[in-house]
Amino acid sequence: MCSLKVWVLLFLLSGRYKKLIEAWRATKPPPRTPEEAARLVIQTLKGHKKADVEVIHAYNKDEGLLAFYGLLLPHNPIEVTHGHGVPASLPEGVKFELHTLPVDAKAVPDGDTITVYVSTTNPRESTCVPGDVKMAAGQRAKARAERNYEKADAMHKKIIDSGYRVLNIQNEEVLARKYRIRLRGIDAPESSMPYGKEAKEELVKHVQGKCLRVLIYDQDRYGRCVGDIYCNGLFMQEIMLKKGLAWHYTAYDKRPELASWEKQARAKRVGLWASKNPQEPWEWRKNKREGR
Are 116 and 50 found together in one domain? no
Query: What confidence score (pLDDT) does residue 53 get?
Result: 45
Q: What is the CATH number of the domain that holds 129?
A: 2.40.50.90
Are 104 and 60 found together in one domain? no
Are 135 and 276 found together in one domain? yes
Active-site residue, selected from the candidate residues 140, 177, 184, 190? 190
Asked if residue 110 is part of any domain, the answer here is: yes
The answer to whether 283 is a known catalytic residue is no
Total domain count for the chain? 2
Q: What's the domain range around 13? A: 3-68
Whole-angstrom distance, CA of residue 46 vs CA of residue 50 = 7
Are 116 and 48 found together in one domain? no
Asked if residue 79 is part of any domain, the answer here is: no
Active-site residue, selected from the candidate residues 165, 180, 213, 224? 224
Are 224 and 105 found together in one domain? yes
The answer to whether 173 is a known catalytic residue is no
The answer to whether 184 is a known catalytic residue is no
Asked if residue 88 is part of any domain, the answer here is: no
* SS3 readout for 11-53: HHHCCCCHHHHHHHHHCCCCCCCHHHHHHHHHHHCCCCCHHHH
Question: Which domain-ending residue is among 49, 68, 87?
Answer: 68
- Output b/e per residue, 87-102; b: 16+ Cβ within 10 A: eeeeeeebeeebebbb
Active-site residue, selected from the candidate residues 182, 198, 202, 238? 182
* Structural contact between residues 83 and 171, judged by C-beta atoms closer than 8 angstroms: no
Are 130 and 253 found together in one domain? yes
Are 103 and 51 found together in one domain? no
pTM: 0.71
* Structural contact between residues 143 and 155, judged by C-beta atoms closer than 8 angstroms: yes
Are 139 and 232 found together in one domain? yes
Please, where are the H alpha helices in the chain? 3-13, 18-26, 34-44, 50-54, 65-68, 123-126, 131-145, 149-161, 196-207, 236-242, 256-268, 281-289
Up-side HSE of residue 136: CA atoms within 13 Å toward CB? 20
Q: What is the pLDDT along the chain (292 residues), one digit of tens a residue?
A: 444 444 444 455 455 556 666 766 776 666 665 555 665 665 665 555 444 444 333 333 333 455 444 444 444 455 666 555 566 678 889 999 999 999 999 999 999 999 999 999 999 999 999 999 999 999 999 999 999 999 999 999 999 999 999 999 988 999 999 999 999 999 999 988 999 999 999 999 999 999 999 999 999 999 999 999 999 889 999 999 999 999 999 999 999 999 999 999 999 999 999 988 898 999 989 888 877 6
Are 57 and 157 found together in one domain? no
Are 113 and 253 found together in one domain? yes
Collapsing DSSP states into helix, strand and coil, what is residue 200? helix
Asked if residue 83 is part of any domain, the answer here is: no
Contacts of 194 (CB under 8 A, 6+ apart): 272, 275, 278, 279
Asked if residue 273 is part of any domain, the answer here is: yes
Query: What confidence score (pLDDT) does residue 217 get?
Result: 97
Q: Express each pLDDT in 3-49 by its tens digit.
A: 444 444 445 545 555 666 676 677 666 666 555 566 566 566 555 54
Query: What confidence score (pLDDT) does residue 15 get?
Result: 55
Asked if residue 86 is part of any domain, the answer here is: no
DSSP string for residues in 152-182:
HHHHHHHHHHTTEEEEEETTEEEEEEEEEEE
Short-list 157, 151, 125, 126, CA closest to 139:
151
Question: Which domain-ending residue is among 50, 68, 86?
Answer: 68
Asked if residue 251 is part of any domain, the answer here is: yes
Q: Express each pLDDT in 125-144 by its tens digit.
A: 999 999 999 999 999 999 99
Contacts of 255 (CB under 8 A, 6+ apart): 185
Are 30 and 100 found together in one domain? no
Are 58 and 198 found together in one domain? no
Contacts of 27 (CB under 8 A, 6+ apart): 40
